[in-house]
Every structure is written in structure tokens, then in C-alpha cells.
Structure 1
Amino acid sequence: MTQVMACIDGSLNAAAVCDYAAWASLRLEAPLCLLHVLDHQQYPQHSDLTGTIGLGSREHLLEELAALDEQRSKLALEQGRLALEAAKQRAQRDGVGDPQLRQRHGDLAASLGELEADIRLLVIGRQGEDSSGDRQLVGSQLESVIRTLHRPILVSTEQFRAPQSVMLAYDGSATANKGVDLLASSPLFKGLPIHVVMIGADTADAWAQLKHAEQRLLEGGHQVQLAIRAGEVEPTLHAYQAEHAIDLLVMGAYGHSRIRQFLIGSTTSQLLRASNSPLLILR
């Protein structure tokens, strides 16, 4: 895991994705790679049009349509290249030395899966350029990426704001404790106060789990605040986040509690859709 990788496209989220990736690259002291993937479904490398042309049609029609598809693909690649160049200039203005640029042709989730060994942190927008524009929706490709990739994923909002505080949604699971270790040791969170929040019953066992997490974070030099709140996971987490003006929500993708049930499958969209701040998903 050597790079911070940012998914760049023509969406409204692209600038913030670039800024969050630059922020992470600088804090982690890790190289930055800017990636553009050309969707193979929209822009196939080779089109077979024989089934779309009726009997008796002239062969030159097939040739013309194939040429048009090739031209569309070339234009899309050029548009992606320009987007990458603009992102590189923006990252350099943010202080990143020499971002690497990569272009691939294929499915986004599959492409990232192939590049997984090179990824330390992935930064991606909540919506891609093919989304409907409704800010309450989450891009379908994002959900595929979350299910495919086994690396931390930072999902950005449309506006960049350098995080000044962090909230960890904690359930005492092995995944959540790995999240605690990551927050305690990663330079990404150095100097940031951390709120550790459990959703559930206020019990001695719950507090014992929280105190264990607190001790690990204190050893990492963090200021820590603990809380247990009752209620439904998504609105309760976001209410706490709003109450304390927390900039970044951190959550494990898998656990063994209501948080797990909340995040897996279609409910992933509920959390992402309702969030007005970036979300770091841990795997």
C-alpha cells in the first residue's frame, strides 16, 4: 500500500476529491496518484454492431458507426486526460510535489481491484459524472467500489474542508478496534481530537469497551471524548456529529452489531446520502 489514489472524473465532486486526496497525501507523506477510468460500457474499445443492423443494410454503415464509436472513445479519453491535468495542477497548488497520472479503460470497481496493492487510501466522490445530479442519491459505482476494495475509502463531499475533528462510530467489534488502532497510529489523524461514539444501551460492558478504545487513542497522543447514545444508528450518529461540529466520520464497513446491519447492502446509501461531511470507511 504505497499511494493515496484519487478517482478523477468530470463530476462536481472532482475538485473536492482532489483537495481531500492532496490533504491526505501530505499528512501521510505518501505519493498521490490521480486516476481516470473510462467506462467500458459507455465507451467500448471494440463495438460489435452486426446485431443492430438489419439484413440488406450496406456494409459501409457498420464501418461508419464503428468509426463514430472510436471517435467518441478518443474524445472521452482526451476529456479524461484534461481532467487529470487540471487535477494535477490543483494538487500541486495544494502542496503535492509530483502527482502521478493514470488512465484506464474498463469498469471502475474492477480497475481499482486490480490496483489494490498500490492503494494505501482511496479518495472518491459520493457521485460520479454520470449521476442524476440529485445530491440525495449515491452513485452506483461507489457502492460497487466499497464492496470490492479492501482498503480505507474516503468519500468526499462537494466542498473541501480540512478536517479538524473526527468521530469514530464504535461497536466494540474486531473491525472497530482495528479502526481505533488506525486512528491512534496513522499520521492522517495526528493532532485531531477524536470522539468515540457507541449507539446502544448504556451498560458497564459498553463503557469498558469504550475505555479500552480511549486508552489506545490516548497512547497515540489524541484528545478523546466518549459517548453512548440510544436511538437509530444513522440519525443518532449525525445528530451527535452536528452537535459537536465534527468534520469527519469514520466507520467500519463490517462489524457485529446494528452498525453492521446498517452499513451493509442498500443501507450504505442511507448513511452516505444523509452525510454532509466526508466519510472514511474502513475495511
Structure 2
Amino acid sequence: MYERILVPTDGSETAELAVEHAIDLAEQYGADVHTLYVVDTDSMSLSLGAEQVDRIEQGHYDEMDEVRDRADRATSYVADRAAERGLEVVEYVSAGKPHSQIATYVEDNGIDLVVMGSHGRSGVKRALLGSVTERTLRSTHVPVLVVEADESD
């Protein structure tokens, strides 16, 4: 049923909850696991400036130790958890708008299922903060399993 499962991650606890679900499904279906960290250039543009964001979008985020380390930690977490279960993971880092990068990765890599976390915000909180998960649901044409974190945790 599923041959390639994508777990987008930002390294948060919410994303880590989704990792466990993705690994369980990959094990059950014999699927490959992919993990994607997106350097969110929209959120960085205010603090870094346009020139630095342009460099990041062109793939030069390796020069920025903090960004590279955050991406490596997030994708390595997925790879390490999968390795404990005998699964290998394709790790990938890109830059841009997260939902758009996720949709592009899905198309380019023949992903069958996306498993991602969500904070479960509603109403004003979601309107103010936006939702990568919600935008991903609207941007892809494959099933998206949303693992919701409890805001009170």
C-alpha cells in the first residue's frame, strides 16, 4: 500500500510524535522512510535580511552553523529512530516555504504518504500562527496522516 513515506520535521516534540507513527507504518508495509527538514526562509527573512535569505534558498545554508546543526539534528533523529528498527532513511534538507517544499518533495520522490505533526491549534491561534500542516494538506495529492499534539502537554 505504501512504498515511500515522508516525515517532514522541524525537530520539535510534535514532529517527533509523527516519527514514531511513520516508522511503525514503514515497518508494517515495508516502506522506505524519507525525512525532510525545510529551512523556513519566510521566518528567517526578518532577522537575516534579503541577501542572506537568498543564499539560503540557493542551498548555501551549510555555511550557517546553527541552521545546518538544527537541520542535521532533526533529520538524524528520524534516521536514528528508524535504524533502531532496522530501517534506513533518506535525509534531505531544503529551503523555502515549508508546505511548498514538502509538496515538491512529494512529487519529485514518488511519496505515497506524508506523516506529520500538528499542534492542534484552532480558531484565533491558528489564524495568527498559520499551519504548515494545513497548507500541506492543501498542497499535496497524497494522503497526509496528521499526528496531533496536545497543547496542554
Map of 2:73 onto structure 1 = 208
Counterpart mapping for 1:61-210 below 5 A: 162-184=1-23, 186=24, 188-190=25-27, 191-200=30-39, 202-210=67-75
- State the distance in 1 between where 2:14 and 2:119 align: 7
Aligned-partner Cα distance in 2 for 1:181–1:271: 20
Q: In terms of Rg, which structure is larger?
A: 1
1:272 CA drift (Å): 2.0
Cα distance in 1 for partners of 2:5, 2:147 equals 14
Structure 1 residues 262 and 227 mapped into 2: Cα distance closer, same or farther (>3 Å)? farther
* Matching of residue 248 in structure 1 with residue 109 in structure 2: no
1:212 is matched by which residue type in structure 2? Y
Task: State how far apart, in whole Å, the 2-side matches of 1:172 and 1:222 are.
Answer: 19
TM-fit CA distance, 1:189: 2.3
Deviation, structure 1 residue 216: 0.8
* Matched residue type, 1:213: V
Aligned residue type for 1:169 = P
The alignment of Structure 1 onto Structure 2 pairs a total of residues equal to: 112
Structure 2 residue corresponding to 1:263, chosen from 118, 124, 131: 131
Higher normalized helix content (fraction of residues) = 2
Q: Deviations over 1:126-161 (max 9, x none)?
A: xxxxxxxxxxxxxxxxxxxxxxxxxxxxxxxxxxxx
Partner of 2:103: 238
TM-score normalised according to structure 2 size: 0.65
Following superposition, the deviation at residue 213 of structure 1 comes to 2.1
Query: In structure 2, what is the equivalent of residue 224 of structure 1?
Result: 89
Alpha-carbon distance between aligned partners in 1 of 2:73 and 2:108, rounded to the nearest angstrom: 24
Q: Deviations over 1:195-248 (max 9, x none)?
A: 010111551232123212211111122221001110011111111111111111
Query: Which TM-score applies when normalising by structure 1?
Result: 0.37
* Counterpart Cα distance in 1 of 2:99 and 2:136: 6
SS in 1 for 2:115: strand
The 8 Å contact of residues 230 and 236 in structure 1, kept in 2 or not, is answered as yes
Is the 1:167–1:241 contact (alpha carbons within 8 Å) kept by the matching residues of 2? yes
**1:233/1:262 contact within 8 Å kept:** no
Unpaired segments ≥5 residues, structure 2: 40-60, 62-66, 121-128, 149-153
Task: Please tell me the residue identity of whatever aligns with 1:238.
Answer: A
**Alpha-carbon RMSD:** 2.1
Cα distance in 2 for partners of 1:194, 1:227 equals 11
Q: Secondary structure at the match of 2:96?
A: coil
Query: Residues of 1 paired with 2:141 and 2:70: CA distance?
Result: 32
Aligned to 1:38: none
The offset of 1:262, in angstroms, is: 4.4
Q: Secondary structure at the match of 2:141?
A: coil
Residue in structure 2 matched with residue 3 of structure 1 by the alignment: none
Shift of 1:252: 0.5
Cα distance in 2 between the residues matched to 1:181 and 1:238: 21
